[in-house]
Amino acid sequence: MRAPELRARVVHANQELVRHGLVHLTWGNVSECDREEGIIAIKPSGVSYAELTAESIVIIDWDGKTVDGDLKPSSDLATHLEIFRNFDGVGGVTHTHSTAATAFSQAGKPLPCFGTTHADHFFGEVPLVRELNEEEVAEAYEENTGKAIVEHFQNAGLDPLAVPACLQKFHAPFIWGASAMDSVKNAVALEMCCDMALKTLSLNPDAQALPSHILRKHYLRKHGPGAYYGQG
């Protein structure tokens, strides 16, 4: 089992949330899965980031059962599991209550793509996922949160790798990526884009969305088959 390396990556990714100012108190968590091993490493519930160690990271199997670790996993585990099970290619999930992204969630607004900074990371609007109904909250809240996310992407025909984030109505953002650290980087990008969008709307409530030809250019030059951004 490759759990030691997985734990080390996940504790580092969780601590990066603090460094980037994406979390306060214990409001967030990061996980990473090893699909070959069939395991997931995730932050323990309610443990402060300053107290996290690799040994405190909980190892879960694909059925959500703890296979290694003395602490309870994050209460958001079931949401992470739904994302891993349904979005091929996702290796890490981040959940935060970062200020600007959560403001969009609480306002019930998707995040429009207003400019090229957004287009460099997300191929268009970051969607708003519906709120859960009373029965969904009462019976399996975290699992149904994940199901609502998956449902939205499937119904809207969205590629979760091209738009690796969503805003859960009345809740907060969920973000994912190829690894735990990749999901954290996407969470940083989402928060910055939300902050810029709020400032854009304060200056111009009728701000225009980025034209599609510019959106395609900026996204594909970094993520498309002929990508040429960077040194790779």
Instruction: State the burial class of residue 27 (Cβ atoms within 10 Å of its Cβ: 0-12, 13-18, 19+).
Output: middle
- The answer to whether 219 is a known catalytic residue is no
pLDDT bracket for residue 4 (50, 70, 90)? confident
Q: Which residue has the tokens 């349904």?
A: 86
Question: Residue 82: pLDDT above 60?
Answer: yes
Mean pLDDT of the chain: 95
Delimit the domains of the chain by residue range.
3-223
C-beta of residue 41 within 8 angstroms of C-beta of residue 2: no
CA 142 remoteness from chain centre: 14
3-state SS, one letter per residue, for 23-67: CCCCCEEEEEEECCCCEEEECECCCCHHHCCHHHCEEEECCCCEE
Q: Which of 34, 68, 120, 195 is catalytic?
A: 120
pLDDT bracket for residue 231 (50, 70, 90)? low
- Cα 70 from Cα 72, distance rounded (Å): 7
Tens digits of residue pLDDT in 138-175: 999 999 999 999 999 999 999 999 999 999 999 999 99
Q: Which of 76, 88, 219, 229 is catalytic?
A: 229
Q: At CA 58, angle to CA 52 and CA 144, rounded to 5?
A: 110
H/E segment holding residue 92:
strand 92-96
H/E segment holding residue 217:
helix 212-223
- The answer to whether 229 is a known catalytic residue is yes
CATH superfamily of 3-223: Class II aldolase/adducin N-terminal domain (3.40.225.10)
